[in-house]
């Protein structure tokens, strides 16, 4: 990397009151470099990103763009000088067209403020051609797939002549194939001399796409090296320390149940079908076992598990719970029978973000905390404190609104809510999306503990690394059918990829 330094942060730090969230930190992005930025939540990644986008001003230090000092805390100036950010959550207007979104807020106008549509379209087409991208400019953003929406965001940044792109978890909601597509777009940008900072919790991606990596921990940079000098285990250790690192790796799965469970399975599905969604799906999940259901996005795994939970209907087939035939017409009935469900999108349908940790933790079991007509507040608090300790929820303040927690801690609250129910069968849909590796390791530990206590656990996951780490058995689903079920100890990732018919992993 001997390119030109496009963006340089020198001794940037941030202090809030008495707590230092970012110790003086240097960071450089040169032209044609993809720099990975990794670290647990709370490591200072997002603070650093916010300083670089100008969203907040650093307590000390300064930022150089092309060698010139930029005034801190001015998001518009950073944008104008070519530093753009692609946030984890979409910053597009879903109801508007691609073209409108790319030039939002700065369309060229004629007299009377009328927009020069033809000019706009020509500019956009030139931009698409220049970067070898292909998008329907008239399509509504809401009709595009997630990876296409990311491309629109990238194009929006490029339309500003961005030389530096900050990407915050760009693949958090993407399938394997879409990640590959995004990475080839990033490759193209790199070849044209754009500098990129790539923040991700998914280390495989960092190793796949990045040239250099900056590892942060507790508000400081602990490593800044070419990626070739590091391996996965070393990066995890740098991020979270030794103990948690082993939890997050497959070795901890050594404790996995060795002999296949016998007897009546906890959950037995036979020939479950729903037109247009899943066909003839048969599955067994035993007590004390973690079964992972994996596959590409669109393989209808979520629809299947929702049908088991009573949140989706099915046309034919049978479900048995410990040998007893059941058919849940509502999640309420499923919960009453001891089935828990951790939903995929914790913001949309998992948590009540403005309620406290305690209220969320007991939301599924509130009936148990009645005293006459009222709720027994002290028992709720006791349960909340017990779960907060057991799950290591940070901060350990049960009055805190869930909205203020980090993604990993929100996910732990969601998990705790269902663990409090002590279900016979716990279904989890993508339990660690957008969760940092430290919290991931803790969640894996919790799931293993629940399994060892005899719970049956069914996990839907697209993250093959995760599947290999926690599963006892793995079922691969393709286009609504379970094509293969394997024992984890006899399986390699390449086998799964082959089962899925995926082009890349």
Partner 1 sequence: MIRRHGISALPIFFLVTFAFFCAVVPRFATAGNLEALMAGYAFIAIVAMGESFAILLRGVDLSVGAVMALAGMVAFDASLILHLPGYLSVALALVVATFAGVLNGLLIVFLRLQPFIATLATLAAYRGIVFAISGRQLVPGLSTTALDDPWIIGLETYFDVGATLGVESIAVPAIPLSFLLMIVLLVLFEVLLRSTRFGRDFYATGGNPEAARLAGIDLRRTVLIGYALSGFCAGVAALLLVARLTTSTEALGNGMELTAIAAAVIGGVRLNGGMGSMWGPVVGTFLLGVVLMGLTLFGISQFVQQILTGAVLLAAIAHSRWLQSRRLLPSAPEGS
Q: State the distance between the two ends of the chain, measured CA to CA, in whole angstroms.
A: 27
DSSP, collapsed to helix, strand or coil, labels residue 434 as coil
Contacting residue, 4, 57, 69, 94, with partner 1 by CB under 8 A: 94
Q: How far apart are CB 204 and partner 1 at their closest, in Å?
A: 19
CA 259 to mean position of chain CA atoms: 33
CA distance 7 to 193: 13
Candidates 95-103, 311-319, 320-328, 338-346 — which segment interacts with partner 1 by CB under 8 A? Answer: 95-103
Q: How far apart are CB 53 and partner 1 at their closest, in Å?
A: 9
Q: 87 or 369, CB closer to partner 1?
A: 87
Query: Are 273 and 281 spatial neighbours (Cβ–Cβ below 8 Å)?
Result: yes
The residues, any chain, with a CB within 8 Å of residue 276's CB and separated by 6 or more, are none
Token readout for 21 is 């969230």
Order of strands, sheet of 68-70, starting from the edge strand that comes earlier in the sequence: 19-30, 5-16, 60-65, 68-70
Token readout for 254 is 């050594």
147 binds partner 1 (CB under 8 A): yes
105 binds partner 1 (CB under 8 A): yes
Token readout for 71 is 């005034």
109 binds partner 1 (CB under 8 A): yes
95 binds partner 1 (CB under 8 A): yes
Helices 176-191, 146-158: inter-axial angle, 10-degree rounding: 20
Strand partners, 8: 28, 64
Size of residue set near partner 1 by CB under 8 A = 38
298 binds partner 1 (CB under 8 A): yes
Q: How far apart are CB 296 and partner 1 at their closest, in Å?
A: 5
Contacting residue, 45, 148, 417, 448, with partner 1 by CB under 8 A: 148
Contacting residue, 106, 192, 313, 386, with partner 1 by CB under 8 A: 106
Contacting residue, 296, 335, 351, 387, with partner 1 by CB under 8 A: 296
96 binds partner 1 (CB under 8 A): yes
| DSSP β-ladder status, 68-70 and 370-371 | unpaired
Candidates 171-179, 243-251, 321-329, 407-415 — which segment interacts with partner 1 by CB under 8 A? Answer: 171-179
Q: 100 or 466, CB closer to partner 1?
A: 100
Q: 57 or 449, CB closer to partner 1?
A: 57
Closest CA relative to residue 82, chosen from 164, 151, 167: 164
Contacting residue, 113, 254, 276, 372, with partner 1 by CB under 8 A: 113
What is the enclosing helix (H) or strand (E) of 342?
strand 339-342
Query: Are 56 and 73 spatial neighbours (Cβ–Cβ below 8 Å)?
Result: yes
Subset of residues 47 to 76 that bind partner 1, contact rule: CB under 8 A = 75-76
107 binds partner 1 (CB under 8 A): yes
Q: Which residues bind partner 1 (CB under 8 A)?
A: 75-76, 79, 90-97, 100, 104-107, 109, 112-115, 117, 138, 140, 142-145, 147-148, 175, 177-178, 181, 296-299
């Amino acid at each position: 990397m001997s390119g030109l330094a496009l963006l340089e942060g020198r001794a940037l730090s941030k202090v809030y009151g008495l707590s230092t969230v970012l110790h003086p930190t240097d960071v450089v992005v040169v032209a044609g470099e993809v720099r990975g930025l990794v670290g647990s939540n709370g490591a200072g990644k997002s603070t650093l990103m916010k300083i670089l986008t100008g969203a907040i001003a650093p307590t000390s230090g300064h930022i150089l763009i092309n060698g010139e000092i930029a005034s801190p805390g001015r998001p518009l100036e950073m944008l104008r000088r070519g530093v753009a950010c692609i946030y984890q959550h979409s910053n597009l207007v879903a109801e508007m067209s691609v073209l409108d979104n790319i030039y939002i807020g700065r369309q060229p106008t004629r007299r009377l403020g009328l927009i020069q549509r033809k000019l706009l379209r020509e500019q956009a087409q030139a931009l698409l051609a220049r970067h070898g991208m292909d998008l329907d400019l008239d399509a509504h953003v809401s009709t595009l797939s997630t990876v296409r929406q990311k491309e629109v965001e990238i194009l929006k940044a490029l339309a500003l002549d961005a030389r530096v792109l900050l990407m915050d978890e760009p693949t958090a909601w993407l399938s394997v194939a879409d990640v590959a597509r995004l990475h080839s777009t990033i490759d193209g940008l790199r070849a044209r001399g754009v500098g990129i900072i790539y923040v991700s919790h998914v280390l495989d991606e960092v190793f796949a796409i990045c040239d250099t990596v900056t590892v942060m921990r507790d508000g400081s940079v602990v490593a800044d090296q070419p990626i070739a000098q590091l391996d996965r285990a070393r990066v995890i250790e740098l991020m979270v320390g030794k103990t948690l690192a082993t939890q997050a790796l497959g070795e901890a799965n050594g404790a996995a149940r060795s002999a296949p469970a016998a007897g009546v399975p906890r959950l037995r599905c036979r020939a479950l079908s729903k037109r247009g969604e899943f066909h003839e799906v048969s599955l067994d999940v035993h007590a004390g076992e973690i079964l992972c259901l994996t596959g590409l996005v669109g393989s209808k795994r979520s629809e299947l598990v929702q049908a088991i939970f009573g949140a989706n209907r099915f046309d034919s087939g049978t479900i048995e719970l410990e040998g007893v035939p059941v058919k849940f017409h509502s999640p309420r009935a499923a919960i009453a029978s001891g089935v828990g469900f951790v939903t995929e999108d914790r913001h949309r349908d998992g948590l009540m973000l403005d309620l406290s940790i305690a209220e969320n933790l007991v939301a599924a079991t509130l009936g148990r905390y009645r005293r006459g007509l009222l709720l027994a507040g002290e028992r709720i608090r006791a349960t909340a404190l017990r779960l907060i300790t057991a799950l290591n929820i940070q901060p350990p303040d049960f009055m805190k609104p869930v909205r203020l927690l980090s993604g990993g801690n929100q996910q732990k609250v969601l998990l705790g809510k269902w663990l409090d129910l002590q279900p016979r069968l716990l279904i989890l849909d993508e339990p660690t999306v957008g969760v940092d590796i430290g919290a991931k390791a803790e969640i894996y530990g919790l799931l293993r503990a629940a399994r060892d206590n005899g719970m049956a656990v069914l996990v839907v996951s697209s993250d093959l690394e995760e599947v290999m780490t926690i599963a006892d058995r793995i079922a691969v689903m393709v286009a609504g059918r379970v094509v293969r079920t394997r024992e984890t100890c006899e399986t390699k990732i390449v086998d799964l990829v082959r089962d899925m018919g995926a082009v890349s992993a």
